[in-house]
Amino acid sequence: MEPLFGKAPGLKRIFSMRVRMSERVESGESPLGRRSFNGTDGGVFEGDHLRGTVHAGAADWMLTRPDGVNVIDARVMLITDDGAAIYMNYGGRAIVPPELLPQVRDPARRGGVDPATYYFRTTPAFETGAPAYAWLNDVVAVGAGRLLPEGLGYDVFQVL
């Protein structure tokens, strides 16, 4: 069957985000895998139409399945430079080849891991009551993540 739409949708960058990781709490092995709480100390985000800080306390309640795939379940509060609050939640997958795990788990070396060697993708959704950013409430978005020495970085795109 030929594609019904004719061509693939495009992407437009909304912002890039950097977050500093803080505490990590492991729950141990469960029937679904290993759940971990990965907290943040905050961060920054910036794009053509919005910029600001990532409120401290954002976190990912990640599940590492028995097959090694990390299932992302994150919640973040973005605070724009003009004082608006934007709630962002996202799911996704982070898949790191086993041979890279020692480097990825070492904060001093993780930023040097080429993001082309692992898979780190998310599907952000936004919620805000701020009129200037209400357009985000209706955006379908995807994110591409990468490991940084201090934590994580994302480029977040609107699907056109």
- pLDDT digit string, tens, across residues 86-105: 999 999 999 999 999 999 98
pTM of the predicted model as reported, rounded to 2 decimal places: 0.93
pLDDT (average), residues 48-55: 97
Answer yes or no: is pLDDT of 23 > 90.
no
Q: Tell me the pLDDT tens digit for each residue of 57-76.
A: 999 999 999 999 999 999 99
Tokens 């004719």 -> residue? 6
Measure the CA–CA gap between 56 and 39, rounded to whole angstroms. 8
Domains in the chain, CATH or no CATH each: 11-159 (2.40.160.20)
Answer yes or no: is pLDDT of 7 > 90.
no
Answer yes or no: is pLDDT of 9 > 90.
yes
11 with 153: CB under 8 angstroms? no
Answer yes or no: is pLDDT of 5 > 90.
no
Contacts of 127 (CB under 8 A, 6+ apart): 86, 87, 88, 137
Q: Which residue has the higher pLDDT, 109 or 5?
A: 109
